[in-house]
């Protein structure tokens, strides 16, 4: 199955919801009890709560299934309100079931609670990766790099986004751990859900959030005042002031940062959704030119320290050309 087809085969969720509701309504007939039998009604309350909890959880899963795929996460319109309301209803039903049923049903209640916890995490991750303001943030950063604009504001933007994405990736890891702990056979009996489909959906989301984290961490490194663009600018200032050895050290630090960013992007792109491809391409282009600029400026500083003004000027011009090329990455 294509992992991008997010929970694609959990259409069983919709079927299960209706089936479970019908089962809940017919429990009285199955037990042969009358509506006036208080003991029987009490017995049915816990069973109905279990069935309704499973149905509500399947409704939450169906909302995720309706995403279709995550090849272009930002093109997905996702409102978490409905699935979160379904989760809230499911948890209330499980509290009722816990109060009405005996210890022999504790494991079933815990299985459904784990299902709820896993879905809650996946919903949170989906919110993070389908956020349509990601494009705005990346465009702001690109503009700052291309035009030597407000790098401080760009840094703040990246820091905030990186914190959100890292939190989502950690939440995804928690959900995956929870899914791994669920008894798939029992979950299937209680809800009609195939645990393997939930695992596939989680894996698709994992690819998306990991790719997004690669992008945000790369931009964070690129814009770093200590080791990234800040080191490049610091080296240029030192070069202008004739502090050639200090300038060379700063340029070499920046070159190493940009080079590492290029490598990180090349590795991360192989698992990224197609919708993030342009982001990876642009960031790779930017960091490649920045790496080349830093390397050329380092050569210029070394030549200047060796009192070779012609070579220093040539390398410096190469560095400036590479810096100018950064702006072309978004064309």
Q: In the structure, what pLDDT confidence band is assigned to residue 38 with cuts at 50, 70 and 90?
A: very low
What distance in Å separates the CA atoms of residue 128 and residue 167, rounded to the nearest whole number? 9
What distance in Å separates the CA atoms of residue 155 and residue 229, rounded to the nearest whole number? 11
Return the CA Rg of the chain. Answer: 28
What distance in Å separates the CA atoms of residue 202 and residue 157, rounded to the nearest whole number? 28
Residue 277: Cβ-neighbour burial (10 angstroms; 0-12, 13-18, 19+): middle
The torsion defined by the Cα of 170, 176, 179 and 181, in degrees rounded to 10, comes to: -90
What distance in Å separates the CA atoms of residue 40 and residue 177, rounded to the nearest whole number? 39
Report the mean per-residue pLDDT for the chain. 86
Contacts of 25 (CB under 8 A, 6+ apart): none
Does 24 have pLDDT greater than 50?
no
Question: Which tens digit of pLDDT belongs to each residue from 81-96?
Answer: 999 999 999 999 999 9
Does 282 have pLDDT greater than 90?
yes
Its sign, for the CA torsion 133, 139, 145, 150, is negative
Question: Which tens digit of pLDDT belongs to each residue from 230-240?
Answer: 999 999 999 99
Report helix, strand or coil for 228. coil
What distance in Å separates the CA atoms of residue 252 and residue 228, rounded to the nearest whole number? 10
Does 272 have pLDDT greater than 80?
yes
What distance in Å separates the CA atoms of residue 293 and residue 272, rounded to the nearest whole number? 28
Does 251 have pLDDT greater than 80?
yes
Does 25 have pLDDT greater than 70?
no
Its sign, for the CA torsion 122, 20, 66, 80, is negative
Question: Which tens digit of pLDDT belongs to each residue from 167-225?
Answer: 999 999 999 999 999 999 999 999 999 999 999 889 989 999 999 999 999 999 999 99
Does 7 have pLDDT greater than 60?
no
Q: What is the pLDDT of residue 146?
A: 81
In whole angstroms, how far apart are CA 92 and each of 59, 83, 86, 87, 259? Answer: 15, 14, 10, 9, 52
């Amino acid at each position: 199955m294509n992992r991008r087809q997010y929970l694609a085969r959990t259409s069983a969720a919709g079927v299960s919801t209706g089936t479970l509701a019908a089962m809940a309504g017919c429990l009285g007939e199955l037990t042969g009890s009358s509506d006036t039998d208080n003991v029987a009604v009490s017995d049915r309350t816990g069973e109905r709560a279990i069935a309704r909890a499973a149905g509500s959880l399947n409704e939450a899963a169906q909302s995720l299934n309706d995403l279709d795929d995550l090849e272009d996460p930002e093109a997905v319109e996702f409102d978490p309100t409905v699935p979160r309301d379904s989760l809230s209803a499911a948890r209330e039903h499980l509290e009722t079931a816990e109060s009405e049923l005996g210890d022999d049903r504790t494991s079933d209640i815990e299985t459904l609670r784990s299902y709820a916890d896993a879905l809650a995490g996946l919903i949170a991750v989906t919110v993070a990766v389908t956020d349509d303001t990601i494009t705005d943030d990346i465009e702001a950063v690109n503009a700052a790099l291309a035009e030597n604009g407000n790098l401080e504001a760009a840094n703040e933007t990246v820091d905030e986004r990186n914190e959100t994405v890292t939190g989502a990736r950690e939440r995804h890891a928690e959900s995956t751990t929870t899914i791994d702990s669920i008894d798939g056979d029992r979950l299937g009996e209680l809800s009609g859900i195939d645990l393997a489909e939930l695992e596939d959906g989680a894996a698709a989301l994992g690819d998306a959030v990991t790719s997004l984290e690669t992008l945000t961490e790369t931009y964070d490194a690129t814009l770093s005042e200590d080791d990234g663009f800040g080191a490049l600018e610091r080296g240029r200032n030192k070069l202008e002031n004739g502090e050639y050895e200090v300038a060379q050290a700063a340029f070499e630090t920046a070159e190493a940062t940009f080079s590492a960013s290029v490598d990180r992007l090349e590795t991360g792109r192989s698992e990224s959704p197609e919708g993030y491809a342009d982001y990876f391409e642009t960031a790779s282009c930017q960091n490649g030119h920045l790496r080349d600029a830093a390397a050329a400026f380092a050569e210029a500083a070394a030549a200047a320290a060796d009192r070779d003004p012609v070579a220093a000027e040539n390398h410096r011009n190469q560095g400036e050309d590479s810096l100018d090329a950064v702006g072309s990455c978004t064309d």
